[in-house]
Amino acid sequence: MSNFLAAYSIQSWLESAPQGYLEHTEYGHAPGEKEPALILDNPVMRAAAIRTTVQLVVGERCALAASSGLINSAPDEASKRFLATQTIDEARHVEVFTQRLYDLGVRRSELEDALKTHANPHLVKFAEVLLEKVDQKDFVAGVVGQNVILEGMAFHVFELMHAGNQAVNPKFSHTLSGVIADERRHVGFGENRIGSLIRESPERKPEVQRMQRDMSYHMLATFAAAFQDTSERDEMERITREAEQRGEITRSGTWQGADLRALPPAEMEKLLSGTVLKEFKTRLERIGLEYQTPPAP
């Protein structure tokens, strides 16, 4: 427990995040960095960037509601303090991704409408399953849903986006790297804290596992919608390829050993869901839960 206390204290949070990798950043990126012209000047690219960023805001609003909501049901003081640091991390994530929407030209007065219009319905469901547990003050299910499932998913989605944006959009990829560092800390807490609680109340397992199955289902359905092969996607690929041929951008990006430039959307979806589910399995096993395979969406 003492390692746990030190690793998840407010002191170590201050040293690693605000005084560490977030120092001298502005909304998570270097001051003055801008979205690339390739996105800002092209309506198709800009609309796609807005839609993607909306999903990030929706996911982070859920994480904010979950981490703050779990503070009062946490059984020990150290967990409450950690969740307080996580709450500000998640609020920051909401803020930096909302700021990106403004940077992409969404007006402040249009923000809620944009979120409503573009939020993936399955992502909304995914959040509801988790927040129901949080509202019931169910700490064990809440932490599994938030710090294992939601954040296990978010971590890989952010890493994939980071790999794809590193060369073409340094601003966004810098924002993502700070968020990724935060998520790594949150995921670690979930695993470290919840294992002992599951061992103390094994009777909770079936219900927590059912929640995992439901959340995994909605996650896969969200991915399926996000990677759908559309004419817009072809158009984006064409625009990017042409910019590359003109020498305006250099695409790069390998993730999980795959060259992202050569990967068709269906393959990318398979790689992402496979990676996330594999990690769910490993991490659930470590905390004493059995992974439940969701039905195919």
Residues engaged in binding Fe ion (CB under 5 A): 60, 63, 90, 93, 151, 183, 186
- Residue number with CB closer to Fe ion (89 or 138): 89
- Residue number with CB closer to Fe ion (139 or 240): 139
**Cβ 113 to Fe ion shortest distance, Å:** 23
Alpha-carbon span 62 to 167, nearest angstrom: 30
- Residue number with CB closer to Fe ion (38 or 180): 180
- Residue number with CB closer to Fe ion (93 or 171): 93
The count of other CB atoms within 10 Å of the CB of residue 197 is 18
**Cβ 132 to Fe ion shortest distance, Å:** 19
- Residue number with CB closer to Fe ion (35 or 60): 60
Residue type, 96: V
**Cβ 166 to Fe ion shortest distance, Å:** 20
Which spans in the chain are helix H? 2-7, 10-16, 37-40, 43-71, 77-103, 111-118, 121-135, 139-143, 151-165, 170-200, 205-226, 231-245, 265-286
**Cβ 154 to Fe ion shortest distance, Å:** 6
**Cβ 59 to Fe ion shortest distance, Å:** 7
Cβ atoms of residues 238 and 156 within 8 Å: no
Between the CA of residue 67 and those of 12, 46, 91, 141, what are the distances in Å? 18, 31, 10, 12
